[in-house]
Structure formats: structure tokens, C-alpha cells
């Protein structure tokens, strides 16, 4: 007996579908919505409309790539929370309708748990318990994961997410949205010690990034008064210094979490785990503290449906099904 799960993800601005057979990902299709670029951020109403247009072709493609028919599907999964409510409704409604038509169960998946479990998609997988630093445009969390069914947020941002810190400071530098990858690219040739930005003093394992953004705003205002071309002349050094600070804020808390819990399996997840400074810092700290470190392949770090499918597969094994009345919610605690 095999188990085939079809999963859809529609929490923000990617319409995605994936097919998983017995925990192995057979397809991973993502339609990134271009419509938001001109607005410098995601416009919820436009995201919902684009999901409606994309979802059927994306699911068709995912089933074709996986070489499955609808009769092969054992369960249909969707992202229940958190996310943009209008966007989530499209995926949920699609999944519930397809489940009704095929007379198969639905599985509701928590988007942030799925980011963590993306680390289970490809070998070598982390052993339990592991810590996961989930860093994306909307979230920054340290999660203690005991099993696919048991995980707990032990630290999170009290204001902006790490991805927002990258994107908002990139905007101050005149870079287009999303600026995170551009900061990473310019930082490669810059000096991370060129400028020192403050590290917030937040108790415990929580993070804060809004003060950093303000500090960079004032720093740039002052420098531009002295030299209007300051940013153009020093972009690599500025980017390297910003990236260095964001990464040290993240890593210092991750090190603290590892020390407090005694856990030495340490993972990254979310779109910001693409950042080369963060990956290098994880490797360095891994060596220093004897951690086994992991991060998912890039296609499983940014928003995708394969992470929803793998999470749903584990839920399927436990018989943890939703009902046709299960509705999404914009916010959700674990
Ligand atoms: O997980 P994700 O694709 O979407 C969600 O927010 O859920 O993450 C997107 C975020 C954006 O803020 C983007 O700027 C950031 O990840 N990002 C990066 C890099 N690649 C993506 N930030 C820094 N360096 C990168 N290389
Ligand atoms: Zn995400």
C-alpha cells in the first residue's frame, strides 16, 4: 500500500502544488505572482485573484510531473494558517472541493510547521530533537522540534521578521523588492566590519529588528548629508555591514537556544536561509559547537507545497484529518 498526498499552498504570493508518495516528493510546482512587483510588496486582493487563476493549472502540472491520476490520490492537503486570509481561502476551498469530488480526506497544515519539516524532505535528515531557525519575509522563529507531531516555538520576533529587515533596509538603499537577495549579492564583495549597526538587547530567545531599520535610516540620512553619493559609492560595504548585523542577531539567539536546550541538531528554514552570510555563520558555529547542521534545498526553503505535502504525509500516517468544514485562519498559534 502506498500513500499519495496532493498538497496545495496559497498563503501568500506563491500558488504551489506538490505530490508526495510515501514521504518522497514527486513534484513541486510553484507559480510566483509577478503582479506585486510594481507595488513593492504583496497586495492581498491581487494575491487572491492570482491564486484563483493559477491554482488549477498548477495542480494539473504537479499531477502531470508526478505522473499520477486523480484516482491515485489518497488525501488532499492545504495550508490552513497563517497567511493572507483571502489567499488561504482559495487553496482551502480548492482542496475541500477536490476532496469532496474524489471522496478523499482533507488534511489541514500549519505553514510554519511545514517550513520546519521541509528539513525532512531530503536525506540526510536531522535526528530528533532538533532546533530550527525559521526565517522568512513574514516570520522569525526558533522552534524546538521533538517529532513531526510535536514542536514548540521557543523564540520569535517581537516586531519585524528577518526577511523584512533585509527588504526594508534594501528599500532605504533604493534597491527593488524583495531586496534580501540583492543585499546578499552586494555583500559578497563588501567589508562586513565597515559600519557598525546596533544589536538590540532583547531578553530570552526573542528577536527585534525594527530598531536596526531605524538606526540604518538615520545613518544613511547623516551620511547622505555629507555626500549625496554615499550609497552608490559604498553599496557593497553597506550591504555587508547590514547583512553581518542581521546574521549576528539571528545566530547569537540560535547559539543561546542550543546552549539552553543542549540540542546539537540545528536547522534553518524559510526564504532567508538562502542568505550566504547566514549559511556561513551556521557552518562556523556548527564547527565551533559541534552541531550537525541542515537546511533544505532552496526550492524547499522559499514558500512551496512540497513542505505542505511532507507534513501532510506524517499527519496522514497518524490519521490526523480535517473536515470539509475546516476553514483557514490568518493567524494561528500552535
Ligand atoms: O520564505 P519566503 O520565500 O516567503 C515568505 O516570506 O514566506 O521568504 C522571502 C524572504 C524575503 O524577505 C526575501 O528578501 C528573503 O526571504 N530572501 C533573502 C535571500 N533570499 C530570499 N534574504 C536575504 N538573503 C537572501 N539570499
Ligand atoms: Zn513561508
Question: What contacts 310, CB < 8 A, 6 or more positions away?
Answer: 20, 23, 25, 114, 117, 118, 120, 121
**pLDDT at position 193 over 90:** yes
4-33 pLDDT per residue, tens: 999 999 999 999 999 999 999 999 999 988
- Residue 133 CA to residue 273 CA, distance in Å, equals 9
Top mutation candidate among 44, 81, 133, 136 for ligand 1, by most atoms within 8 Å of CB: 136
Band of the pLDDT at 272, cuts 50, 70, 90?
A: very high
- What angle is formed at CA 3 by the lines to CA 302 and CA 127, rounded to 5 degrees? 55
Closest-CA residue, ligand 1 atom 2, reads 271
The sign one gets for the Cα dihedral 180, 87, 59, 37 is negative
Ligand 1 neighbourhood includes 136 CB (under 6 angstroms): yes
Beta bridge partners of 144: 131, 152
261 is in an annotated binding site: no
Residues of the chain with pLDDT > 90, as a percent, come to 93
Tell me which residues have their CB within 5 A of the ion that is ligand 2: 136, 303
pLDDT at 73: 98
pLDDT at 40: 74
- Residue 153 CA to residue 143 CA, distance in Å, equals 4
For residue 106, give the 3-state DSSP assignment. Answer: strand
Closest CA to 147 of 294, 1, 16, 318: 318
- What angle is formed at CA 274 by the lines to CA 130 and CA 40, rounded to 5 degrees? 125
**pLDDT at position 148 over 80:** yes
Name the closest ligand to CA 110. Answer: 2
What residue has cell string 555591514?
241
Name the closest ligand to CA 135. Answer: 1
Ligand 1 neighbourhood includes 141 CB (under 6 angstroms): no
286 is in an annotated binding site: no
Band of the pLDDT at 100, cuts 50, 70, 90?
A: very high
Beta bridge partners of 240: none
Ligand 1 neighbourhood includes 304 CB (under 6 angstroms): no
200-256 pLDDT per residue, tens: 999 999 999 999 999 999 999 999 999 999 999 999 999 999 999 999 999 999 999
If you measure from the C-alpha of residue 180 to the centroid of ligand 1, how many angstroms do you get, rounded to a whole number?
6
If you measure from the C-alpha of residue 139 to the centroid of ligand 2, how many angstroms do you get, rounded to a whole number?
8
Element (H, E) at 307: helix 306-318
**pLDDT at position 39 over 80:** yes
- Domains and their CATH numbers in the chain: 4-116+300-318 (3.30.420.40), 128-295 (3.30.420.40)
- Residue 204 CA to residue 267 CA, distance in Å, equals 20
Q: Which three cell numbers stand for residue 212?
A: 536596526
Residue 77 falls in which region: left (phi positive, over 0), alpha (psi -120 to 50) or beta: beta
pLDDT at 41: 79
Band of the pLDDT at 277, cuts 50, 70, 90?
A: very high
294 is in an annotated binding site: no
Ligand 1 neighbourhood includes 302 CB (under 6 angstroms): yes
Task: Read off the pLDDT of each residue in 74-95 and give the average, rounded to a whole number.
Answer: 97
Quickly list DSSP for 210-253.
HHHHHHHHHHHHHHHHH-TTHHHHHHHHHHHHHHHHHHHHHHHH
Residues of the chain with pLDDT > 70, as a percent, come to 100
- Residue 52 CA to residue 46 CA, distance in Å, equals 10
- Residue 32 CA to residue 51 CA, distance in Å, equals 10
Quickly list DSSP for 140-161.
EEEEEEEETTEEEEEEEBSSS-
pLDDT at 1: 85
Strands (DSSP E) along the chain, which ranges? 4-9, 14-21, 24-32, 75-81, 106-110, 130-135, 140-147, 150-156, 265-269, 292-294
What residue has cell string 523584512?
164
**pLDDT at position 85 over 90:** yes
If you measure from the C-alpha of residue 30 to the centroid of ligand 1, how many angstroms do you get, rounded to a whole number?
15
pLDDT at 308: 98
**pLDDT at position 143 over 90:** yes
Ligand 1 atom with the smallest distance to the CA of 274 is 26
110 is in an annotated binding site: no
Average model confidence (pLDDT) for the chain?
Answer: 96
Task: Read off the pLDDT of each residue in 171-198 and give the average, rounded to a whole number.
Answer: 96
**pLDDT at position 34 over 90:** no
pLDDT at 177: 84
299-328 pLDDT per residue, tens: 999 999 999 999 999 999 999 999 998 999
This prediction has a pTM of 0.95
If you measure from the C-alpha of residue 133 to the centroid of ligand 1, how many angstroms do you get, rounded to a whole number?
13
Amino acid at each position: 500500500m502506498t500513500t499519495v498526498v496532493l498538497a496545495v499552498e496559497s498563503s501568500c504570493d506563491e500558488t504551489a502544488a506538490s505530490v508526495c508518495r510515501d514521504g518522497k516528493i514527486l513534484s513541486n510546482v510553484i507559480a510566483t505572482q509577478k503582479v506585486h512587483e510594481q507595488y513593492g510588496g504583496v497586495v492581498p486582493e491581487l494575491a487572491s485573484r492570482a491564486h484563483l487563476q493559477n491554482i488549477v493549472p498548477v495542480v494539473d502540472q504537479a499531477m502531470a510531473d508526478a505522473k499520477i491520476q486523480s484516482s491515485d490520490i489518497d488525501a488532499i492537503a492545504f495550508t490552513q494558517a497563517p497567511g493572507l486570509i483571502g489567499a488561504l481561502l482559495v487553496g482551502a476551498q480548492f482542496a475541500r472541493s477536490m476532496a469532496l469530488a474524489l471522496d478523499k480526506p482533507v488534511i489541514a497544515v500549519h505553514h510554519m510547521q511545514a517550513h520546519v519539516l521541509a528539513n525532512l524532505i531530503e536525506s540526510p535528515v536531522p535526528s530528533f530533537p532538533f532546533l530550527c531557525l525559521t526565517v522568512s519575509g513574514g516570520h522569525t522563529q526558533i522552534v524546538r522540534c521533538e517529532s513531526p507531531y510535536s514542536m514548540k516555538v521557543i523564540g520569535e520576533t517581537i516586531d519585524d521578521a528577518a526577511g523584512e529587515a533585509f527588504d526594508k533596509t534594501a528599500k532605504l538603499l533604493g534597491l527593488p523588492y524583495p531586496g534580501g537577495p540583492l543585499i546578499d549579492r552586494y555583500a559578497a564583495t563588501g567589508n562586513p566590519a565597515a559600519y557598525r549597526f546596533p544589536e538590540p538587547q532583547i531578553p530570552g530567545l526573542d528577536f527585534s529588528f525594527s530598531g536596526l531599520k531605524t538606526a540604518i535610516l538615520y545613518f544613511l540620512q547623516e551620511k547622505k548629508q555629507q555626500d549625496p553619493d554615499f550609497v552608490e559609492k559604498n553599496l557593497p560595504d553597506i550591504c555587508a555591514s547590514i547583512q553581518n548585523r542581521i546574521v549576528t542577531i539571528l545566530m547569537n539567539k540560535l547559539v543561546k537556544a542550543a546552549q539552553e536546550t543542549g540540542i546539537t541538531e540545528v536547522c534553518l528554514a524559510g526564504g532567508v536561509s538562502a542568505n550566504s552570510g547566514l549559511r556561513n555563520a551556521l557552518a562556523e558555529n556548527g564547527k565551533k559547537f559541534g552541531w550537525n547542521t541542515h537546511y533544505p534545498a532552496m526550492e524547499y526553503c522559499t514558500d512551496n507545497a512540497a513542505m505542505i505535502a511532507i507534513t501532510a504525509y506524517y499527519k496522514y500516517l497518524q490519521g490526523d484529518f480535517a473536515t470539509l468544514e475546516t476553514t483557514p485562519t490568518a493567524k494561528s498559534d500552535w
